[in-house]
Amino acid sequence: MIELYRLSGCPYCAKVEDKLDELGLEYEQHNVMPFRFLRREVKKVSGQSGVPVLVDLEHDVSWMAESDDIVDYLEQTYKE
Ligand SMILES: N[C@@H](CCC(=O)N[C@@H](CS)C(=O)NCC(=O)O)C(=O)O
């Protein structure tokens, strides 16, 4: 299962969510806190506190940040 760490109102997260929806991919959402110092879960997974962060263990992606990189990855991996 793909996982996405995201924040409401974050345009970079919305870009990734739009791509996931466009590709018809199911994913688990993890909502992070607005204050970076409270984002413990995403920090634990990725070592940094920015979002979006994508996890796709089925494809050996333990974590990936940078929305443009995530969108490119999703297209290359899942676009038919
Ligand atoms: N270049 C990044 C920018 C992401 C970004 O600025 N995210 C904000 C939320 S909208 C954030 O988490 N900022 C805190 C940080 O980067 O540590 C991307 O496109 O993914």
User: Per residue of the chain (80 residues), what is the pLDDT tens digit?
Assistant: 999 999 999 999 999 999 999 999 999 999 999 999 999 999 999 999 999 999 999 999 999 999 999 999 999 999 98
DSSP state of 33: P
pTM summary value: 0.96
Shortest-distance atom of ligand 1 to CA 13: 10
DSSP state of 60: T
- Which CATH number is 27's domain given? 3.40.30.10
Provide the pLDDT for residue 62: 98
Structural domain count of the chain: 1
Structure tokens at 48: 């940094």
Q: Is the CB of 4 under 6 A from ligand 1?
A: no
Provide the pLDDT for residue 36: 92
Q: Return the residue whose CA atom lies nearest to atom 10 of ligand 1.
A: 10
User: How far is ligand 1, taken at its centre, from the CA of residue 66, in Å?
Assistant: 8
Tell me which residue of 6, 3, 1 sits closest to 55, measured CA to CA.
Answer: 3
Tell me which residue of 80, 77, 73 sits closest to 15, measured CA to CA.
Answer: 73
Provide the pLDDT for residue 80: 82
Q: Is the CB of 15 under 6 A from ligand 1?
A: no
Helix (H, G, I), strand (E, B) or coil at 9: coil
Domain carrying residue 70: 2-78
